[in-house]
Structure 1
Amino acid sequence: MTKQHIKQLTVTLITLCVATLSGIKSAEAASFSVVADGLNNARGLSFGPDGALYVTEAGNGGNGACIPSVTGQGSLCYGATGQVLRIENGQTQTALTGLPSLALADGTNAGGARDIQFDASGKPYILLGYGANPSFRSNLGNVDLGKIIAPDFATNSWRSVADLSNYELVNNPDGSDVNSNPLGLFIDGDRLLAVDAGANDLLSVRNDGSNLQALAVFPQEILTNPVFPPSGEPSTEPGQVPDPTEQPPSQLPIQVVPSSVVKGPDGAYYVSQFTGFPFPEGKAKIFRVGTDGTTTVYADGFTHLTDLEFDSVGNLYALQYANQSAWKGNFDGSLIKIATDGTRKTILSGNGLEAPNALTIGADGAVYISNRSDRPGQGQIIRVETSQSVPEPTAVAGLVAFSVFSLGSLCYQKRNRNRAKTLPWQLHTSHQSLIRTND
C-alpha cells in the first residue's frame, strides 16, 4: 500500500472489545426520550436565541450531477434536499430548505449541512460538508458545499461566508491528498472555527469572511500492529485491506480525522478525533489547541469521537460514534463525561444510542443528541438525562494531561453485520468523509 493510497482511504466516517482490560463495568443506562424521529441524515444541533432547538439534515442527495466517492463505493449525486429543522414544545418545523446535499443513490454517505451555531447576537451560521476532492466540486454547478454560510430563515435564503474546501484545494496544509469535508463549527466572538476532516486541520476565519487560515494542522499518526477487516469480507476501504498472501504491515500511517471543535474554560480549543482506517479501537484522542496553534493531547483512549461540549461548570462531554472499529458493523455509541479532575463517567452506552453524531446541552441540563445520524429517514433527536452515570475504572490508563483516565471500549456482540462494512457519514478516514454504508 502506498502512503498516498492509505491517505485516500481515510475520509469515510464519522471504536476492541478489550478483553485484556479487567474490572471494566458496563455503564448504567441513562434514560432518554425521542424528541424527533424520521430525519434524513441528522447531523449538527444547537439551541437558538429563541430557545428552540435547531437541527441540520444533510439530506439524501438527488438526481443531479455526480462525482466519484472517495471510498470507491459509487457516485455521490447532487440534490437540494438538505434542510434545517426547528424543534420547540414537541413540534418540529422546517426553518430552512433547499440546502445542497450529496449522497449515494440510496441516500447514504450523505454530505451537506453538518453543523449550526449561533453567535452572541443570535445570528446563525451553518457549516456545509462536502467529502471529496474540491477540484470535482465545479462539476456540480455553483454549489455551496464545503463552505460556511449565513442563513436568513425569514426569506429561506443564505449567503456564503467562507469557502473552506477551496482553502484545501489552494493550500493543502497537511501536504497529503487533496480532500475536504468540514464537520464541526464553533463561534468565538467574531471568529468562526471549523475542523475539516478531509484536510486534517482546524481553520479560523472572521465572520466577515476575511483572514481564513489554518490555526492547527494534524499530521498523520503511526499505528503499530494495525487490525484489519478479515480478508474477503466487505469493507468501505477495500483498497486498504492487505493482500491475504502478504504479511500485513506492522506499522501504518493513518489520518487523524478531526471531527469537532469547542472552546474550553481555559480559553483553548478542544478538538475530537475520529481516526482513519482501519479505525483502531482506543486510539482516538481529544486535542487541546492553544490560541497560537500549539497542539497537545488532552485525553486519549477513545474510539470514533464525533463531538464535544463543555457544560457550565467545566465538565467535558464526549460523544463516541461507535465503541468498536467501524468496520465491525456494531454502531452502539457512548456519551462520556470527563470531570474537571479528569475522572470519567459513561452516561449512556448502547441501549438505543447508535451512530450518534452531535450533542448540545440544554438550559434544562439535559444532553440532546442527533442519533442514528448515518442514515436517511431513520435519524432521531434524543434527550438524555444525565443523573445516572457510572465511573469508569481508573485502571484503564490513558490520559495525557490533567490525569484524564483512558476509557476502555465497551464490548458488544456484533449485530447487523451486513450493514457494517460501510462507514457512516463522510468523515475522512484517509480523507474519506465520515461516511458509512449508511451515510
Structure 2
Amino acid sequence: MKLKQLTITFLTFCVAAFSGMKAASAASFSVIADGLYNAGGLSFGPDGNLYVTEAGIGGNGACVPPASGQGDSLCYGTSGAVTKIENGKTERILTGLPSLALPDGTGAAGPRDIQFDAKGKPYVLIGYGANPAFRDRNLGYTDLGKIIAPDFNTNSWTTIADLANYELANNPDGGDVGSNPLGFAIDGNKLVAVDAGGNDLLSVNTDGTNLQAIATFPQDILTNPVFPPSGTPSNEPAQVPSQGETVRSQFATQPVPSNVAKGADGAYYVSQFTGYPFPEGGAKIYRVGADGKSTVYAEGFTQLTDLQFDPAGNLYALQYANQSAWKGNLDGSVIKIAPDGTRTTLLSGNGLESPSALTIGADGAVYVTNRGDRPGEGQVLRIENIQSVPEPDSILGVLAIGALGVTWLHKQKSPPEFFLIKISPNKLFNTQSPKV
C-alpha cells in the first residue's frame, strides 16, 4: 500500500476508539454555541458576528475508500453547513454543503474553515481526506477538496479553486497522492491554504487564477518512539502493533501542516500535526518566507491544529490533545507565544477537549471550536478570565505538553528499517484529521 494513501486528518477516530467524556467546566470559559456537527474553523464577519463551519455527517450517497484502504468507507451527503452565532443564538445560514464521513458520522470531511476578505466577502474551504482520483470517479461532481465563495442570502456558492485536483495533477511533495485541505488565510488578493493530505502550502488568487504550491514540509525521523501497547482500542487494527511485533529504534514519520496564519513580518506561519505515533512534544511551527523556504519558528508542541496572531503580535497555538490519544485523554490546550518567545498556557483541559480551531475576537478574547471531532457535540467556547500559567523549563527551553492522535501503523511481516506514515489532519476527516 502506498504511504500517502495512509494519510488521514487529525480528528479521525478518537471518539470511536475511546468512550467516556468529561463534563465541561465553565471556570475558564463560557459556551456560546453547542450541538455542532464536526465543528471546524471559525471567523468573525464584517457584521461582528461569529461564523463557524460544520463538516457534517456525510450521508447515504456514494462512498470512497478511507485513506488507509482499511475499515469502513466514507460516504457522501450534503450535511455540511456554515453557522452564524449572533447574540447567543445559532443559525445555519449556508446548508447543503458537501460532506464525507463514516457511517456513524465521525471522521467527517466537509466545510473546514471560513475567512472574510477586507471587503467582507466570505470564502469557505472544504476538506476531502482521500485520494483525489476517487472523488470524481466515485462521487460525481462535488466541491470536496475545494475553496468556494458562498452567498448567504441565496444559499448558493461558486467554486474558486480545486485544491484536490491540483494534488492529483502535480503532487508537489512527490509522495503518495492524497488531499485533505484543512485551513487557510487571506493575504490581500491571495488565499493561502494548507493541504494536509498533499503535505504542502498552496496559494491561489481570489479570482481562482495562479494556483500553485509555495512550500512542502519534511518528514521526521524519530528515535526510540513510544507506540501504543498491543490491544489498545482502535477502529483500525493496523494502527496498533501486534503482539510480539518488533519495532525499529528509528522510525520515519510524516508530520503534516494543519493551518496557516500570516505574521506581521509578511511570512506565513504553519502549524504542524505530527505523524504516527504522535510523539509528545514533537510538533513544530514553521515560518515560510517569501522565497518559499521553511524554517522552524517554534517547537516542542503536541498535535497542533491551528494558530492565530493577535494585534500585539502574540501567536496563539491550539493543541488537539496534550497526550497521545491512544492514552485515552483528549484534553487540549491553548498556548500563547509572545514576540520574545515566552510561552504561557491559557487553558488546558478542564473541558477543553479535542479542539479544532481558534480565532481572536475584537474584544481580545480567544474563541475555540471544542469537541470538533464529535457529531452533535461540538461547541464554540469564549475563553475568559484567563489565568496564564508559565510553562515549565525543559532542556530544550521549549514547551512539551503532550500528544494526540489516532492513525494507522503501516505494518509488514518483516518491517523495513523505517516506516513512513503520512497523516493529513480530518479523517479530521478521515480526516482531518480531520484543524484535527
Decide: shared fold, TM above 0.5.
yes
Q: Deviations over 1:327-377 (max 9, x none)?
A: 222110000000111110000000000000000011111001000000100
User: Is 221-230 or 350-359 further displaced after alignment?
Assistant: 221-230
Q: What is the aligned partner in structure 2 of residue 409 from structure 1?
A: 401
Q: Partner letter of residue 204 of structure 1? A: S
Letter in 2 for 1:378: E
**What do you get for the CA RMSD once the two structures are aligned?**
2.2
Residue aligning to 2:62: 65
Percent of aligned pairs with the same residue?
Answer: 69
Distance change >3 Å, CA 327–CA 223, structure 1 → 2? same
Distance 2:236 2:183 in 1: 24
Kindly provide the CA deviation profile for residues 299-331 of structure 1, in whole angstroms up to 9, marking residues without a partner as x.
Answer: 000000000010110000000000011222211
In structure 1, the partner of 2:53 is 56
- Cα distance, 1:236 vs. partner? 5.0
Task: Kindly provide the CA deviation profile for residues 361-418 of structure 1, in whole angstroms up to 9, marking residues without a partner as x.
Answer: 111110010000001000000100163111112x2244xxxxxx4112169xx9xxxx
Superposed CA deviations along residues 29-66 of structure 1, whole A, max 9, x for unmatched, are 96100000011000000000000000000000000000
Is the Cα–Cα contact under 8 Å of residues 29 and 385 in structure 2 kept in the other structure?
no
User: Which one of 90, 93, 96 corresponds to residue 94 of structure 2?
Assistant: 96
Please name the residue that 1:183 is paired with: 182
Amino acid across the alignment from 1:396: S
Q: What is the alpha-carbon distance in structure 1 between the residues aligned to residue 297 and residue 349 of structure 2?
A: 25
Give secondary structure in 2 for the equivalent of 1:111. Answer: coil
Residue 165 of structure 1: SS of its match in structure 2?
A: helix
Q: Are 2:5 and 2:130, in contact at CA under 8 Å, matched by a contact in 1?
A: no
Structure 1 78/429 Cα, relative in aligned 2: closer, same or farther at 3 Å? farther
Please say if 1:300 is aligned against 2:299.
yes
CA gap 1:364/1:111 in 2 versus in 1, 3 angstroms: same
Opposite residue 113 of structure 2, the aligned amino acid is: D
Please, what TM-score do these two structures have when normalized by structure 1? 0.88
Aligned to 1:26: none
Corresponding position of 1:168: 167
SS at structure 2 position matched to 1:377: strand
Is 1:340 aligned to 2:332, yes or no? no
Q: Distance in 2 between matches of 1:349 and 1:113?
A: 26
Q: What corresponds to 1:105 in structure 2?
A: 103
Change beyond 3 A, Cα 1:43–1:84: same
Name the structure 2 match of 1:203: 202
Q: Give the conservation status (yes or no) of the 8 Å contact 1:30–1:388.
A: no
Report how many aligned residue pairs link the two structures.
405
Aligned letter for 1:93?
A: E
Counterpart check, 1:370 vs 2:362: no
* Superimposed CA distance per residue, residues 59-83 of structure 1 (whole angstroms, 9 cap, x where no aligned partner): 0000000011114221100000000
Secondary structure class of the residue paired with 1:239: helix
Letter in 1 for 2:422: S
1:116-167 Cα shifts (integer Å, max 9, x gaps): 0000110000000000000000111110000000001111100100000001
Structure 1's unaligned 5+ residue stretches are 15-28, 399-404, 415-419
Mapped to 1, the partners of 2:6 and 2:333 lie a distance apart of: 25
Contact 2:276–2:406 (CA under 8 A) maintained in structure 1: no
User: 1:434 pairs with 420, 426, 432, which one?
Assistant: 426
| Residue in structure 2 matched with residue 45 of structure 1 by the alignment | 42
Partner of 2:250: 251
Q: CA deviation at 1:434?
A: 2.8
Q: Name the residue aligned to 2:154.
A: 155
What TM-score results when the alignment is normalised by the length of structure 2? 0.88
Kept in 2: contact 1:229–1:235 (CA 8 A): no
Q: Taking structure 1 as reference, are residues 8 and 327 closer, same or farther at Cα in structure 2, changes over 3 Å only?
A: farther
Please give the alpha-carbon distance, in whole angstroms, between the structure 2 residues aligned to 1:382 and 1:96.
21
- Change in CA separation of 1:222 and 1:202 when aligned onto 2, cut-off 3 Å: same
* Distance in 1 (alpha carbons) for counterparts of 2:81 and 2:273: 25
| 1:263-296 Cα distance to aligned partner (Å, 9 max, x none) | 0111110000011111111100000000221110
Q: How far did 1:238 drift?
A: 3.5
> Conserved in 1, the CA contact under 8 Å of 2:283 and 2:299?
yes
